[in-house]
Structure 1
Amino acid sequence: MLVVKRLGVLVSMVVLGLAPAGAAYSAAAPSATPSATPSTALSAQDRQFLQSMHQVNLAEIATGNLAKQKGTSQEVKDLGGRFVTDHTQLDQKVQSVASSGALTLPNKVTSEQQAVINQLQNVNGADFDTQWITAQLTAHTQAMQLVQAELTQGSDPSAKQVAQQAAPVLQAHHNALVAAAQSLGVPIPGGTTVAPSPGVSSGSPTRSGTPVTPGPTIS
């Protein structure tokens, strides 16, 4: 009986001696939940590009709808519809990247863009076609410069991808506008020729009014 009691005491001592070691291991065990890695913040250039490109798209959708409604020539009407479709798709990509980067986009066009929209709303007939083509050549030239700045100075991969996708679309639009201007006898304003971005064909239009380079598909 004495032997049994002594064995019981020894077992109790062993258990008590192990308890602190087990507690220490539990406290030192690393957490199973990995720490979240913060996303890369958009640079000032990326933010400016996305906000400005969004306003470009809003303006192009508005003026494109005006062309569909008020255009005299079928060329202007068709270009208006094409611009609405393409810039709506481009803006979906802009909004997606902005949302991922927690960037708030402006809810209206710039004052300069609004002035152009107002001017087009107040003209009709052949004058509308002339002023619409002229305004669109200027707007697309500025948009291509905006894209080129992002391609060379941007840092966020998603924002730069938006620029890469927009570049051939804008170039194709510009080519079609030049062709329409030549076909309808609209003078092409100076300073509206921009060298295409790397990898983007200039697609010089023919005098027949048909661009050599077809409009790209936006995926």
Structure 2
Amino acid sequence: MLGVKRLAVIAGMAIVGLAPAAAAQAAAQPSPQDTQYLQTVHQVNLAEIAGGDIAQQKAQSQQVKDLATQFVTDHTQLDQAVQSTAQQTGVTLPNAPTNDQQAVLNQLQGLSGGAFDNAWVTAELAAKQQAIQATETEINQGSDPAVKQLAQQALPVLQAHYESLQALAQSLGIAVPNATPSPGGTAGTPGTQSPTESPTESPGTGGLTEEPVPSPT
């Protein structure tokens, strides 16, 4: 079923040690990059959980519902590790998604059936791409060992999500953006878009983005 079972295995293996691994690292004062990543990925998780809950209620395709359920599970587990690492490093986390993320959630609430499926998958493709880019930036530029470890363990989960979304998009006949994260962990060039892809948030903000959601037809 679009690799959902395989995705669950990958996610479980990657997430199982997140909190202990993070807790094992002694935290100095986190850098601005580390702080931004923790706050960004937390808001990604909040948006993904909320978006997954909406999809379980409004999606027409059972495939969308199944993938949304898996996303809720994975991002809930990931956010537990994020909150633990933030507490350890003294980083204050936001208590809600970004305004753009909330705008997409509001738009999704107003859709149903096939229009919802199209909008959810399109928004998720953009969201995962941004989350992967933010995570790779932390791996490459972060300085706090605990935060970098968190990013390294989150990356394969996000990549597996993206691959499953690509398969789902193909199944539903939804155009996939050109800027595609590679299996090796390098995201596509920001700003490279297909003719059907709408602009999204700037790289590094992560989470559900406002523009990709089409109007119901």
In structure 2, what is the equivalent of residue 168 of structure 1? 156
* Mapping of residues 26-175 of structure 1, within 5 Å: 39-175=27-163
How far apart in 2 are the matches of 1:145 and 1:45? 13
Q: CA deviation at 1:196?
A: 4.0
Identity of aligned residues (%): 57
How far apart in 1 are the matches of 2:101 and 2:121? 15
Match of 1:179 among 167, 172, 175: 167
How far apart in 2 are the matches of 1:42 and 1:160? 11
- Which 5+ residue runs of structure 2 have no aligned equivalent? 1-25, 187-217
Where relative contact order (Cα < 8 A, 6+ residues apart) is larger, the structure is: 2
In structure 1, what is the equivalent of residue 202 of structure 2? none
Misfit runs of 4+, over 6 Å: none
- Which 5+ residue runs of structure 1 have no aligned equivalent? 1-37, 200-219
Q: CA deviation at 1:186?
A: 1.1
In structure 1, what is the equivalent of residue 182 of structure 2? 195
Count of residues in Structure 1 that have an aligned counterpart in Structure 2: 161
How far apart in 2 are the matches of 1:56 and 1:136? 11
In structure 2, what is the equivalent of residue 209 of structure 1? none
Q: Which structure has the bigger radius of gyration?
A: 1
How far apart in 2 are the matches of 1:48 and 1:70? 32
Q: CA RMSD in A?
A: 1.5
How far apart in 2 are the matches of 1:82 and 1:138? 18
TM-score, scaled relative to structure 1: 0.71
TM-score, scaled relative to structure 2: 0.72
